[in-house]
Chain A
Amino acid sequence: MSPLKIKKGATSHSAYDLRPTFSDKVERHTLAVLVENEPGVLSRVIGLFAGRGYNIDSLTVAEVDHLGHRSRITIVTTGTPQIIVQIKAQLGQIVDVHKVNDLTVEGPSVERELALFKVEGTGNDRIEAIRLADIFRASVVDSTLESFVFEITGTPEKIDAFAELMQPLGLQEIARTGVAALSRGAVA
């Protein structure tokens, strides 16, 4: 136990080995965050994710109660269970945040996303595109002789599947809204 027990020129340059002790499996969670509709509140929420290195897979935000001055932010994020708990606790610490709900663990919920697809094509591709759109219950919101813009609503997985099918048929552009989600049943 002498002061110089560390080998000269040791390669470890940190006083501590900071390997995380939790290497649990990564999970996907949908969080509903009710916030005060103040300037800068979205920046606080996003800044938390950026500053602490959390993932944002999808983000949706809009005012939901004009008189009550409330907005709802729906965030889809991924992380280990420990990270997810930490994200929720950190969100709860933000002064402008009223409520944080984890829709993934708090009982069943419904998730929907809206997307617009621009598909260019003629002949068989064009016919195939509109046939598949019909199967997916997408509607045509714009049309020219060589293009369509489809509107589709559904779970993110459904939209992913539709995107994959449209790819070889002349897919030009996609605009997605991000996930909106609510818990099932009567209770808010």
Chain B
Amino acid sequence: MSKAMTGARMVVQALIDQGVDTIFGYPGGAVLPIYDEIFQQNSIKHVLVRHEQGAVHAAEGYARSTGKPGVALVTSGPGATNAVTGLTDALMDSIPIVVLTGQVPTFMIGSDAFQECDTVGITRPCTKHNWLVKETDRLAPTLHEAFHIATSGRPGPVVIDIPKDVQFATGTYTEPRQVETHYNPQVKGDMEMITELAAAMETAKRPIFYTGGGVINSGPAATQLLRELVAATGFPITSTLMGLGCYPASGDNWLGMLGMHGLYEANMAMHDCDLMINIGARFDDRITGRLDAFSPGSKKAHIDIDASSINKVIKVDIPILGDVAHVLEDLLKVWKARGRKTNKEAMQKWWHQINDWRKIDCLAFKQEGKVIKPQYALSRLEELTKKHDRYITTEVGQHQMWAAQYLGFEDPNRWMTSGGLGTMGYGFPASIGVQMGHPDALVINVAGEASWLMNMQELGTAMQYNLPVKQFILNNERLGMVRQWQELLHGERYSSSWSESLPDFVKLAEAFGAKGIICSDPADLDDAIMEMLTHDGPVLFDCLVEKHENCFPMIPSGKPHNEMLLGETADVANAIKSDGAVMV
């Protein structure tokens, strides 16, 4: 049924038809007609953020935690330019979001009008696709196609730029099912390649699954199939920062995260494996370390929906283009049909080796004295919250790596962090988006004080909508990761890496009407965390931690996976005696 309506009404109608229940936005001159329509309906809840960057990160948090596309609505000019960081973040981490931007009327485009900018020009390199809609009749089909493109293939952000006269004018509304699109990425993998991988799995002596965000983006079926595959084969599994939760952290075959600040056993296993099965990861530079020494002796398979991710930095032997869930389903079928074979004897040796590496206990730390170690703070947070229906977001820096190391994720969509772009200021607005998608869940943003200040204005949003997001700030009064690099690589010249004139976070919380908690004594930590958890409302938790703690393990400059720096308490003596150290 085609209906005549204004462009502004079409926007709301299209969002309803796409199943959108929540949008994040900030009004302005060029989107007033749309806001007028939002005012006159009850199907979609609009969350007024305090800065457009916050709207986009909130939409990302919503998308990552629900598996549905996130939607943000911003005005022209500065509204659109403020959205750019969030768009780039979503592009790097493959997060499906739809961002609607207002634009000056079509007859004023190009005239340097008030609050005009070339939105499609500016956002072209930081979106999966974007459109400037110049006719009201084209608006509804474009909106529907936008949702299709954002969510299919490798997901990503899209922008629809809507001039104000297009919002006012009347046109014909098109329903989603009437829209045709030529964009239909291949989801089934090549059976010949899948069979080759199954055969390689049968004979592999030292196999490893290297999984990434693609597993989570592929949906719940992919996670289920992955877990079935790991259980059936008994292969060890590691994951990138983006893939945490695709396999349970409590699972027997879990090696922990890999990469620059990944676990010793995970990186050693990656280096020494003879069959690497990459599922939905992209050989990021934080993962590979020195390229010419990256897992030198292994046959590599790569399952990815994005052809341009295959053979981009690492040459693979078995490329499989397709959706993770579809490919894993076929892989399991083929492997089972061929007799469920693995090289049991070699596998036993392999696990023996891995268990030796595990004994090094690379995450060990000593909590002594009256100062809270950040690792201790996160261990306690993990212990006191792991039984909850819990979602974690983070900012970017040391605290982010520690959160990835010390918190355990049992399920997908529970961990929202800015991986590719590394956006400080991501975590707080993202936690707001997560809480909107899961009103009854425990949502914690693990933050550093410097990152948190980057989008602190969103405390107003959390208060306005009574979103009980917990801001767990590891406050070391430093830009910790910057400081760590300056210590290791720049001769301890700490150029601009300390936080001066920090606010009193408790008073800051109270100024917004939120609850503030400060904790500096390890003995008080558990009680303080419990106080945070039991408070029904936003909490700003100022956890004063050791100021000069470094984040280990770490793969340093120009080093391969098997030359990690370990923390001071790691059992180095054993490391040298173990088979692993002899092998490398």
Contacts and interface: CB of A to CB of B under 8 A. Distances in A.
Interface of A: 1-6, 8-10, 12-22, 36, 39-40, 43-44, 47, 51, 82, 85-86, 89-90, 92-93, 95-96, 98
B419 to A, nearest CB: 15
A22 B316 CA distance: 13
Contact of B124 (A3, A12, A44, A85): A44
A6 B565 CA distance: 9
Contacts of A89: 306-308, 310-312
Interface of B: 120-121, 124-125, 128-129, 132, 149, 154, 182-183, 260, 285, 288-292, 306-308, 310-312, 315, 485, 487-492, 550, 552, 555-558, 564-568, 570, 572, 575
Contact of A15 (B124, B491, B556): B556
Contact of A2 (B307, B485, B564, B568): B568
A21 B292 contact: yes
Contacts of A22: 315
B129 A95 contact: yes
Contacts of A12: 489, 557-558
Contacts of B572: 1
Contacts of A3: 550, 552, 565-568
Given A9-B490, A89-B310, A16 B557 contact: yes
Given A3-B565, A51-B125, A82 B489 contact: no
B290 A98 contact: no
Contacts of B555: 15-16
Q: Is the interface of A mostly helix, strand, loop or mixed?
A: loop
28 contacts: A1-B564, A1-B565, A1-B575, A2-B568, A3-B567, A4-B488, A6-B556, A8-B492, A10-B557, A14-B557, A15-B485, A16-B285, A16-B288, A16-B290, A17-B557, A19-B291, A21-B291, A22-B315, A40-B120, A40-B124, A40-B132, A43-B121, A43-B124, A85-B311, A89-B312, A90-B308, A92-B308, A96-B129
B311 A86 contact: yes
Q: Which 5 A-B pairs have the closest CB atoms?
A: A9-B491, A17-B558, A89-B308, A12-B557, A95-B129
A95 B310 contact: no
Contacts of B132: 39-40
A8 B491 contact: yes
B11 to A, nearest CB: 21
Contact of A18 (B149, B285, B310, B491): B285
Q: Is the interface of B mostly helix, strand, loop or mixed?
A: loop
A15 B485 CA distance: 9
B291 A47 contact: no
Contacts, number: 98
A93 B304 CA distance: 13
A15 B567 contact: no
A96 B568 CA distance: 53
A69 to B, nearest CB: 11
Contacts of A96: 129
Contacts of B306: 89, 93
A5 B557 CA distance: 11
A43 B550 CA distance: 44
Nearest to A13: B489
A4 B548 CA distance: 13
Contacts of A95: 128-129, 149, 183
Contact of A92 (B289, B307, B550): B307
Contacts of B488: 4, 6, 10
B557 A6 contact: yes
Contacts of A1: 564-566, 570, 572, 575
A17 B566 CA distance: 20
Nearest to A11: B489
Nearest to A40: B120
Contact of A16 (B121, B311, B558): B558
A88 B260 CA distance: 30
Contacts of B564: 1
A2 B128 CA distance: 44
A36 B145 CA distance: 15
B186 to A, nearest CB: 11
B489 A6 contact: yes
A89 B307 CA distance: 6
Contacts of B260: 15-16
Contacts of B485: 15
Most central of A12, A15, A51, A82 by chain B CB within 10 Å:
A15
A98 B182 contact: yes
Nearest to A12: B557
A109 B215 CA distance: 41
B490 to A, nearest CB: 7
Contacts of A20: 291
Contacts of B491: 8-9
